[in-house]
């Protein structure tokens, strides 16, 4: 979370100052920037694309339950709570 904050606010504050205030090292931040995305994040992004497609096709009327049921009918295996969480983060609910 600290590194996300630093990344989001680099245009407003100096990197050295943010690292000092948040008590993280600059080298740790740069290592985090170079680190590849995890498999779960990649799968969540892919699932969010499917969720957005189903949600858009329903003219944004479907809630998380109906989106989840539609995904299962399409053969996309996922949990309902995961769909709820991703839709909330994306502002679709």
Instruction: Note the pTM of the prediction, 2 decimals.
Output: 0.71
pLDDT score, position 93: 66
Measure the N-to-C terminal CA separation of the chain; round to a whole number of Å: 24
Q: Give the separation between CA 67 and CA 55, rounded to whole angstroms.
A: 7
* Cα radius of gyration rounded to whole Å, the chain: 18
Distance between CA atoms of 58 and 36, rounded to whole angstroms? 34
Tens of pLDDT along the chain (93 residues) come to 899 999 999 999 999 999 999 999 999 999 999 999 899 999 999 999 999 999 999 999 999 999 999 999 999 999 999 999 999 999 876
Helix (H, G, I), strand (E, B) or coil at 92: coil
């Amino acid at each position: 979370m600290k590194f996300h904050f630093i990344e989001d606010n680099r245009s407003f504050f100096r990197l050295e100052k943010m690292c000092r205030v948040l008590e993280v090292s600059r080298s740790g931040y740069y290592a985090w920037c170079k680190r590849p995305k995890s498999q779960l994040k990649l799968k969540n992004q892919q699932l969010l694309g499917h969720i957005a497609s189903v949600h858009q096709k329903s003219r944004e009327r479907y809630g998380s339950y109906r989106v989840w049921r539609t995904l299962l009918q399409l053969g996309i295996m996922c949990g309902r709570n995961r769909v709820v969480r991703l839709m909330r983060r994306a502002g679709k609910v």
